[in-house]
Amino acid sequence: MPERYLLPPDGTDLRSIDAYRKQGGYAAATRALREMTPEAVVEVVRESGLRGRGGAGFTTGQKWSFMPKPGGPKPSYLACNADESEPGTFKDRQIMERNPHLFLEGLVIGGYAIHARAAYVYIRGEYITAFRVLSDAIREARAAGLLGKGLFGSDREFDIHLMRGAGAYICGEETGMIESAEGRKGQPRKRPPFPAVSGLWSCPTTVNNVETVSHVPAIIMRGAAWFKTIGTPASTGNTLFGISGHVNRPGVYELPLGTPLREIIEVHAGGVRGGRALKAIIPGGVSMPVLSAAQADVAMDHDSLKQVGSLLGTGGIVVMDDTACMVRAAVVIARFFRHETCGQCTQCREGTSWLYKLLRRIEAGEGTLEDLRTIDSVGGYMEGQTICALSDAAAWAATGFLRRFRAEFEAHVHERRCPLPESFEP
Amino acid sequence: MSAVATGAPLLSAAVREAIAAEVTKYPQPRSALLIALHLIQGELGYVPLQAQREVAELLGIKPIEVREVVTFYPMYHEHSVGKRNIQVCVNIACALGGARHVVRGLEDRLGIAPGGRTPDGRYSLEEVQCLGSCGTAVCVQVNNEPYIENVKADGPDAANAIDELLKRIG
C-alpha cells in the first residue's frame, strides 16, 4: 500500500488535538508561520504542482497568487468549500470526520499564504457529524492558541468559522457558495469579477476545497520535490478516490493520482460484486462522462481521463455491473440535475427538464429514435451557454450515456421495454 | 397561518440568543441566515411564516428575502413535517444499492408516498438527492441527525429489514 498522509492509519483516532500533535501535527503550521514568508508558502505549493481536489483541478499555488498583497482597502478571506455534494463523492467527509485538525492546519497555512483575515468553511447541511467534529476541533485549537489573536505566538489574528448549507447542490459551485454564505439563494455569479477580486462580502477571496488544503501541511513539512515524486508529472500527490456502486468493498482509498482505474476497482475495492462483469464506470462524480468497461485501464489523472473523453472531477468512482440498465442510470442522474438547477439560466432550467422527460420516456419503453436525436440536440444547446457548469454537466451526463451505450438506448426503443430484467430501479 | 403577526413571538429566547451569537462571526448579519433557519427548524420542526418575519427583523432584512432562501433550499420546510422525517437517498450509488426497495418498503409500511405524512404526524417520507455517503449505500437521514447507513431492503428478508430500520428511526 502506498504511504498515506491524509487519512489516519487504520485503527488510529486522530480527532483530539493531543493525538494529532503527538504524531507531528501542527508542526507544518508552526514552520510556515514562524519561519516562512507568506510568499514562500505560495511558492512551495505552486512548485509542488498541487491541483484543486474539488473537481476543476486548477493549480492551487497559482490560485493563491491571484490574491492581492496586504494593505489594500479590503480584507481578504479564505472560503473553504465543504459542500461536497457531487453524487459519487464522499471523501471530504472522511477528512473532516476522521482528521479534523489536519484540515484546520491546512486552513491556517492557506490563510497565512493569502493574508486572509479569517477562513469560512461552508459545510453541507446534511453533514451534521462533520460539523460537530469540526466545531470541537476548532474549540480545542482556539484553547491551545493555534487560532485567534496571536496564533502560534505570532502578532497575527486568524480564526476559522463554520457555516452550514441547506441541501442545494449548486452551492458547491464557488460563486453559488459565496451567494449562499451571504445569506441568499445559491445562484452562481457571472465572472468577471473572479472571487480573488470580489468574493465574500465583495472582498478578495480564495475558494479551496477541503481535501486541497489538507495536502498543504505535508507539502510544507516534506517539500515540493517529495510531493512531485507521487502521482504523475501533471497530477501530483495522493488523492482520495471514493468508489461506490457494484463493488465488493466500496469506500474511500487514498492513492497516488494516476493509479489505474482497474487497480482501484479490482485490488482496492475487491472487484465487481458477485463476480459479475464490469459494464460502466463514472470516473469522477456524475458530472463527468461515463466510461465503458473497455476503458477501465485508464490511469486516474487529469490528462489520461481527458484522452478517453472524460474528466477526473472529484475522483468519485461509481461502478456498474452488467445487470445495470444504462438508460435507468441516465434517468437517475437527469432527475438529479433537474432537481438541482438553480433556475436562473433558461438553457439549464428548461434543458434539465427536457432531458429527464426524454430519458424517462425511453426507459418506459415509449421513446422513439427521434427522442435520441433530441437528447443530443438539447445537450448541444446546454453546453457553454450558461453562467455556471451545472448545465454542461447535465448535458455531458445524458449525452455521455447515450453515445457510449447507444445500442442499449435503441433496444429500449425497438423492444418498447427495458431489455435488462435484473436491473436496479431508478 | 394569519397574514399578520399576532401574539407572542414564536422564536424562543434561546434561539434568539444563538442567532445573535452567530451574527457576530460575519461582517454582514445576513450571512447568519442559513444557520439561523437551521436553529429555528431544530426547535420548531419547520420554518413557518411568522418565524420567517421574526428572523428577518433580527437580521435587518425583508421577510421576502428570508422566504426566497427558505423555499430555495431543500432542507427547510415551510410546513410541518412528521416528527421523524425520513429521507432516503435515491441518487446513483443508492439507486444501484436498492434505494427503490427501501422507499417502497417504507411506503407500504407507513401507508404514505414520498412527500406524505402519517395521520398521527409521527412519520413523513422524502426522497432526497445524494447525501455524500455513497460507499455505505443505501443512506437514510432522519431529521438532521447522523446518517443511518448500509440500509438494505430487498430479497426475502425485506420485511424484517424495514422493521429494523423503523426501530432505528425510533
Residues 78-107 of A with CB under 8 A from B: 84-90, 93
For A349-372, the DSSP string reads: HHHHHHHHHHHHHHHTT---HHHH
Q: Measured between beta carbons, which residues in chain B are less than 8 angstroms from residue A124?
A: 132
Which ranges constitute the DSSP H helices of A27-183?
Answer: 27-35, 38-48, 60-65, 92-98, 100-113, 128-143, 174-181
**Cα-Cα-Cα-Cα dihedral sign, residues A381, A179, B134, B99:** negative
Is the minimum CB–CB distance between B27 and chain A shorter than 8 Å?
A: yes
Residues 99-158 of B with CB under 8 A from A: 100-101, 128-137, 141, 144-147
Instruction: Report the relative pairing of strands A316-321 and B140-142 from DSSP bridges.
Output: unpaired
Judging contacts by C-beta atoms under 8 Å, the chain B residues touching residue A86 are 130
Q: Do A167 and B141 touch (CB under 8 A)?
A: no
Q: What is the pLDDT of residue B6?
A: 59
A245 in contact with chain B, both atoms CB, cutoff 8 A:
yes
Give me the pLDDT at residue A206, please. Answer: 98
What residues of chain B, 47 to 66, have a C-beta less than 8 Å from chain A? Answer: 59, 61, 65
Interface pTM (ipTM) of the complex?
0.96
Q: Which residues in chain B show pLDDT less than 50?
A: 1-3
Best mutation target, B78, B96, B145, to test chain A (most A CBs within 10 A):
B96
Between chain A and chain B, how many beta carbons pairs sit less than 8 Å apart?
155
Query: What pairing do the DSSP bridges indicate for beta strands A157-164 and A116-123?
Result: parallel
Q: Which residues of B are less than 8 Å from A246 in CB distance?
A: 96
Name every chain A residue with its beta carbon within 8 A of the beta carbon of B126: none
List, in order, residues 6 or more apart from A370 with CB less than 8 Å away.
none
Contact assignment for B38 to A125 by CB distance below 8 Å: yes
The answer, for A254 touching chain B at a CB cutoff of 8 Å, is no
* Contact yes or no for B69 and A184 at CB 8 A: yes
Among chain B residues, CA nearest to A252: B135
Nearest to A18 by CA among A188, A140, A138: A140
Crossing angle (nearest 10°) for helices A346-363 and A390-404:
30
CB-based contact B28 A129, cutoff 8 Å: no
Task: In whole angstroms, give the CA distance from residue A79 to residue A165.
Answer: 13
- Does any CB of chain B come closer than 8 Å to the CB of residue A270? no
Q: Scanning every residue of chain A, which has its alpha carbon at the shortest distance from the alpha carbon of B133? A: A90
Q: Are B161 and A269 in contact (CB under 8 A)?
A: no
Look up residue A76 and give its three cell numbers: 481578504
Cα–Cα dist A322/A332, whole Å: 17
**Nearest 5°: phi and psi at B150?**
55, 40
pLDDT of residue B8: 86
Task: Locate the chain B residue with the closest alpha carbon to A243.
Answer: B135
Q: How far apart are CA A324 and CA A328, in angstroms?
A: 8
Distance CA A290, CA A403 (A): 10
Put simply, the chain A residues between 281 and 300 with a CB less than 8 A from any chain B CB are: 282, 286
Please report residues of B whose CB lies closer than 8 A to that of A252. 135
Distances (CA, A) of A71 to A67, A75, A177, A197: 12, 8, 26, 14
Residue B74 cell numbers, joined: 431543500
Q: Is the pTM of this model over 0.95?
A: yes
Predicted pLDDT of residue A380: 96
Which among B28, B32, B96 is the nearest to A424, CB-wise? Answer: B96
The stretches of chain B forming alpha helices (DSSP H) are 13-23, 33-44, 49-59, 63-72, 92-96, 99-110, 158-169
Residue B2, pLDDT score: 43
The residue ranges of chain A whose pLDDT is under 70 are 1-2
Find residue A319's DSSP bridge partners. Answer: A245, A281
What Rg do the C-alpha atoms of chain B give, in angstroms?
Answer: 18
Q: A247 in contact with B at a CB cutoff of 8 Å?
A: no
What is the helix (H) or strand (E) element at residue A281, kind and residue range? strand A278-282
In this complex, do A166 and B73 lie within 8 Å of one another by their Cβ atoms? Answer: yes
- Identify all chain A residues contacting B28, using CB atoms and an 8 Å cutoff: 182-183, 201
Burial class (CB in 10 A: 0-12, 13-18, 19+), B120: exposed
Beta bridge partners of A254: A240
Enter the C-alpha cell of residue B26: 460575519
